[in-house]
Structure 1
Amino acid sequence: MEREGWPEPGDLLVCTVTQVVDFGAFVTLDEYPGKQGLIHISEVASGWIKYIRYHVREGQKIVCKVLSVDRSRHHIDLSLKDVNEHQRREKIQEWKADQKAWKWLQMSYDGRPDDLKRVTDSLITAFNGLYLAFEETSLSGAEALADAGLSEDDVLTIEKLAKDNVKIPSVEISGFVDLTSPAPDGVEIIKKALKQAKRVKDKNVALDITYVGAPRYRIHVKAPDYKLAESVLKKAAQSAVKHIEQHGGEGTFHREA
């Protein structure tokens, strides 16, 4: 995947070491074709460095943090020591995912370099990354591409690529609501309370309610992450309990361990 323009100070970049010298290391910026940067020896590692080649070597893929950019001199200062292990792993994973997404686009727009560049630039501008664009499209469909400035044909292409290649991870959690009503039409009141619970849902969430045994009902939620799943489960249970209490009944929520 190739980006246009220049990186900004603070950006994390995947780089390839091209030359190691006494005062530092020169690298190419994998995401910015034709651009190079310098890691001064003081930015290679913390503490005194006896042999710089113990830390970097030609051909090595590394993740660097941008310290400064001088466009007039075409000079970019980078730091290797300012990138911790978590940041390094996360950036490499992101870069590899974008490389996969770039290949999907290359295959789909084979023989149409201008269209490939146009679509790629639009997705990077809108999502700041190619794979993220496909991930969001997999979750939300064409709606996710509404502000990307793509044609209808482009949207259909991206949708199909996302559907065929991106598998969104999900989590599943459950809880129980105990609902009772002394009213003559208590059964109907409970049914309506459960309908209220089912209305609490997100476009990326699956919610299912099953009967366990009087007075207990199980609410099962499947979502992309635990935070969203917990939120939907709690709101669904609260809606059911609120409805039943408003009609003279009782309701309680129990989170499944």
Structure 2
Amino acid sequence: MQREGWPEPGELVVCTVDQVVDFGAFVILDEYTNKRGLIHISEVASGWIKYIRDHVREGQKIVCKVLNVDPSRHHIDLSLKDVNEHQRREKIQAWKADQKAWKWLQMAYEGEEDHLADVASTLIEGYESLYVAMEDAAVSGIDALAEAGLSPEDASKVLSISQENVKIPYVDITGYVDLISPAPDGIEQIKKALKKAARTKEDEVTLDVRYVGAPRYRIHVTAPDYKLAEGELRKAAQAAIKSIEKEGGEGTFHRQA
């Protein structure tokens, strides 16, 4: 999908080199409708350039940084040298993900091109990216799409597409608790504490509690992101410690073994 309007200065854009000349290169902005830009030779690479085609060639897919935009002159100045390898890789990956998301939407809204454009515009306005919108929908559910401005019917359809196609990113972290109970039924008290540690109210979180070696127990958390995972890990550990201390025992949390 191509966006209407103009890119913003500082934005990274995916481009296709259209024409290479002595003073620079003209490119087509792949993400914007009917937009071309110029990379002056001084912005192609650092240092002196003997042959510009050693750095850019027609048909090449590149990532540039927007330096200046002048809609009145239909002019966009770009820089290739200001984009490092990490930025280039991330931008290309995000662009490819958006291309996939657009194809999924096209299949779902086949024959409804005008309405499809409205749905896509709404998602981009809310998320700046079609794929990010679908990823959030897959993780957070239909409410995320409703908040973005989609109608109930469209939110339901986009949610279905997202759940079918988006692979939800998950993270895994591990922590440990040492649990000690001097009570005659200490083993039962520890089992009770571990059961409390294994509970979570988050549907997208998985908790696994296992014995490592007395008095240590491992708590393994799988969640959509690190912030949620860390929070659930500490809640689990605190629940176990609170339970064992209530019965006169001791508990200690360790983030790593």
TM-score normalised by structure 1 residue count: 0.89
Pair 203,128 (structure 1): closer, same or farther in 2 beyond 3 Å: farther
Counterpart of 2:80?
80
**What are the residue-to-residue correspondences of 1:16-35 with 2, within 5 Å?**
16-35=16-35
Displacement of 1:143: 2.3
- Higher alpha-carbon deviation: 101-110 or 151-160: 151-160
For 1:100 and 1:186, the matched residues in 2 are separated by 55
Letter in 2 for 1:169: P
Q: Deviations over 1:197-231 (max 9, x none)?
A: 34556453211334567655432211234554344
Q: CA deviation at 1:76?
A: 0.6
What does residue 52 of structure 1 align with? 52
1:9 is displaced (CA, Å) by 0.5
Confirm or deny: 8 A CA contact 2:146 2:152 kept in the other structure: no
The equivalences for 1:165-244 within 5 A come to: 165-183=165-183, 190=190, 193-194=193-194, 196-199=196-199, 202-210=202-210, 215-226=215-226, 228-244=228-244
User: Hey, what does 1:253 align to over in structure 2?
Assistant: 253
Q: How far 1:246 sits from its partner (Å)?
A: 4.5
Give the C-alpha shift of residue 183 in structure 1.
4.9
Aligned 8 A contact 1:201 1:232 in 2: no
Counterpart of 2:16, as a letter, is: T
Using the alignment, how far apart are the partners of 2:216 and 2:39 within structure 1?
Answer: 63
Whether the 8 Å contact between 1:201 and 1:207 is mirrored in structure 2 is no
- Contact 1:140-1:203 at 8 Å conserved across structures: no
Count of aligned residue pairs for this structure pair: 257
**Which segments of 5 or more consecutive residues in structure 1 lack a partner in the other structure?**
none
Deviation at 1:255, TM superposition (A): 4.8
User: Could you list the runs of 5+ residues in structure 2 that have no partner in the other structure?
Assistant: none
Deviates more, 1:228-237 or 1:34-43: 228-237
Q: Distance in 1 between the 2:93 and 2:56 partners?
A: 20
1:46–1:81 CA contact under 8 A, matched in 2: yes
Q: C-alpha deviations, 1:165-209, integer Å up to 9, x for none?
A: 111233333333232334577667546644553455645321133
Give the alignment's TM-score, normalised by structure 2.
0.89
Return closer, same or farther for 1:10/1:201 CA change in 2, 3 Å cut-off: farther
Q: Describe the SS at the equivalent of 2:56.
A: coil
Q: Which letter maps to 1:107?
A: M
Shift of 1:73: 1.0
SS at match of 2:172: strand
Question: Which has the higher mean CA deviation after the structures are superposed, 56-65 or 211-220?
Answer: 211-220
Aligned-residue RMSD, C-alpha: 2.4
Distance 1:65 1:201 in 2: 44
Q: Corresponding residue for 1:143?
A: 143
Q: How many angstroms apart in 2 are the aligned matches of 1:41 and 1:149? A: 43
Counterparts of 1:251 and 1:105 in 2: how far apart (Å)? Answer: 51
- Per mean C-alpha deviation after superposition, the further-off stretch among 210-219 and 10-19 is 210-219
Take 2:16 and 2:176, find their aligned partners in 1: how far apart are those partners?
Answer: 54
- Percent identity reads 71
Structure 2 Cα separation of the partners of residues 181 and 101 of structure 1: 54
